[in-house]
Amino acid sequence: MTAVAAGRRRVSTGVRLGVLLALVVVFLIPIYVLLVTSFKPLTEADPSQAWNLPQTWTVEAWRVAWEKLAPGLWNSVLLAVPGSLLSCALGSMNGYVLSKWRFPGADLLFTLFLFGMFIPYQGVMIPLVQLLVGLNELTGLQFYGAIPGLVLAHVIYGIPICTLIFRNYYVTIPDELIEASRVDGAGMLRTYWSVVLPVSGPAIAVVIIWQFTSLWNDFLFAVFLTGPTSWPATVMLNNIAGAQATPYSQQMAAAILASVPTMLIYVLLGRFFMRGLMAGALKG
Amino acid sequence: MLVRRVRTWLPGLLLVAPSIVAIGVFVYGMLGWNFRLAMTDKHDEVSEGRFVGLENFIGLWDQPRWHLSVNHAIMFTVVFVLGALVLGWLLAFLMEKGIRGEATFRAVYLFPMAISFVATGIVWRWLMNSGMEERAVGLNRLFDAIGLPQWQWFRDPDWGMAAMAIPAIWQMSGYVMALFLAGFRGVPEELREAARVDGCTEWGVYRHVVLPLLRPVTLSALIILGHISLKVFDLIVAVSGKQIITDVPAVFMWVAVFDSHDPAKGATIASYIVLSVAIFVVPYLIWSVRKERRS
């Protein structure tokens, strides 16, 4: 490489780095605002100080936000943990069958499943409410207006994406492995249990992270299907923030609190989070 | 012979049977149920609901609020999809050849995706606060300080929905970046090298080798962004609440169901949302499944 070309290359790397850094600053502005505002006392809620760091730091807003939001956070845990585990179990079985134990029409079925991934949930909302209300009357249990109904909805509408992730992962298991197990006389479930499941780790991680995040962040289903005692964190947060009397500092502290679990997952398990995203793009 | 074939695939079918039933009932059954409800005159909670055909679908267009929400959805979609696509592509382009600290850059650009619209809506409502002059907070205060003009953000009657697309771009462009980055890296180095040997400039390599290979990624990104955009709901509710000025079909549907207690109208709006998504998602799914089978 000539000196000129090398020089040009260094300049272009510098420009690229500069633009990327500037965009990092832009991307982090909302986070700066959230953090800074959440530590401000009420006396600093003055527009002229909007962008300044707090003069006196206080966790008062965090304390109040925690008090208001805690029941919602707990509801979200009750929703997202069993919900993502159930999704995982269903997705794994479906993915196994659709990749390794195929039956006539499996491709068509898979395409029909996939459409479920893209349907706007508005299109099923009203009937879903009616069905869950009906289930309440039929069984005497709480489906509509409580966590179980919300879990049910998320698990069912999560089938497409979970099946897709597991199917794309299981396709990479060599068919010979399945064949060998069959030759040894193992049936479908036996093969699943002792050959497929033990190597499923990465796919399980991806699905649990994906489902946990979407259950935790969901608002639409929660607003339609739950009542005040079962509101998850998102709905409660929206109500807290919607009240005119709530100071910005409390709103922002509550917003951070409601995002801690998914942020933790993102920081600790970002690689798997990423893979889930890519699966959503229909790319294996 | 037939019995043996059946015995090989029947267990599999049984294992997915619960999911087939669930998808059948909850996706297709309920979509059908919703369409049927949209074709009745059940305009309150108690009435029986007689079949009226497409009356509601046509009648909706007589309502100014529906026109408004459709226009909003179109403006939001155009700004959001183009914005996220361009910004995501730019980020990937800048990082494509590898750069120091790439992992950190990627992590920063992607993290908004992990957070809910409801949570980020709170900070964006503050950032895009319409207060001006000495009452200005958020971006208006910042813009004033650096000499940029202030404006009404999502309260602007003409361009408000363009402002509403900003948080959505912030949330999703990192995802588009990840898609494009995977696309860029999927282009074999030998192909680029071969083009260079043939006398292509770097720009020529990009134009004739890389760009054509990015087309499928662009299409995927377009479909994903588009279907998110057409059903956008929590972002709007979190940033502006249920205000007419930022009405979109999904919010209008919520109002029809909960505030006006009009199931048939809610179902009609929902049907329109489904149709708008299905128009391009269904061909895309058929295309991508066919393509996968070929390879």
Residues 6+ away with beta carbon under 8 Å from A202: A169, A272, A275
Which superfamily, per CATH, for A59-282?
MetI-like (1.10.3720.10)
* CA gyration radius, chain B: 24
A176-201 pLDDT tens trace: 888 888 888 888 888 899 889 999 99
Average pLDDT of every residue of chain B? 90
Contact criterion met (CB below 8 Å) for A240 and A251: yes
pLDDT for A284 equals 37
Confidence check: pLDDT of B31 > 90? yes
pLDDT score for A113: 92
Whole-number pLDDT of residue A282: 56
pLDDT reading at B167 higher than 70:
yes
pLDDT surpasses 60 at A1: no
pLDDT tens, position by position, A145-165: 899 999 999 999 999 999 999
Chain B residues near residue A102 by CB distance under 8 angstroms: 9, 12
Record: contact B99-A20, CB cut-off 8 A = yes
Residue of B37, B125, B223 with shortest CB distance to A126: B37
In whole angstroms, how far apart are CA B216 and each of A4, A160, B92, B208, B277?
A: 37, 21, 16, 15, 19
- Separation of alpha carbons B197 and B266, rounded Å: 61
| Single-letter amino acid code for the residue at A117 | M
Lookup: tokens for B54: 């497409």
Cβ atoms A166, A92 nearer than 8 A = yes
Q: Give the DSSP per-residue string, B220-261.
A: HHHHHHHHHHHT--HHHHHHH-S-GGG--HHHHHHIIIIIS-
Coil/strand/helix, residue B40 = strand
Model confidence at B75: pLDDT above 50: yes
Burial of A269 (0-12, 13-18, 19+ CB in 10 A): middle
At A179, the amino acid letter reads E
User: Any idea of the CA torsion for B135, B139, B144, B150, to the nearest 10 degrees?
Assistant: -80
Least confident of A76-80, B182-186, B255-259: B182-186
Flag if B274 and A120 touch (Cβ within 8 Å).
Answer: yes
Mean residue pLDDT across chain A:
89
Asked if residue B234 lies in contact with residue B121, where contact means CB atoms within 8 angstroms, the answer is: yes
Cα B76 to Cα B69, B70, B226, B233: the distances in Å are 10, 10, 10, 12
How many CA atoms lie within 13 Å of A129's alpha carbon, on the beta-carbon side?
22
What pLDDT is recorded for position B131?
A: 83
Report residue B93 as tokens: 């382009």
> Are the beta carbons of A95 and A166 closer than 8 angstroms?
yes
Please give the Cα distance from B217 to A210 (Å, whole number): 21
Q: How confident is the model at residue A11 (pLDDT cuts 50, 70, 90)?
A: confident
Q: Where in chain A are the domains? A: 59-282
Taking an 8 Å cut-off on Cβ atoms, the answer to whether A259 and B293 are in contact is no
> In chain A, which residues have their Cβ closer than 8 Å to the Cβ of B15?
93-94, 96-97, 101, 188-189
Note the pLDDT tens digit of each residue in A95-149: 999 998 888 888 889 989 999 999 999 999 999 999 999 999 999 888 898 999 9
**What was the pLDDT predicted at B158?**
85
Over residues B247-251, the mean pLDDT reads 94
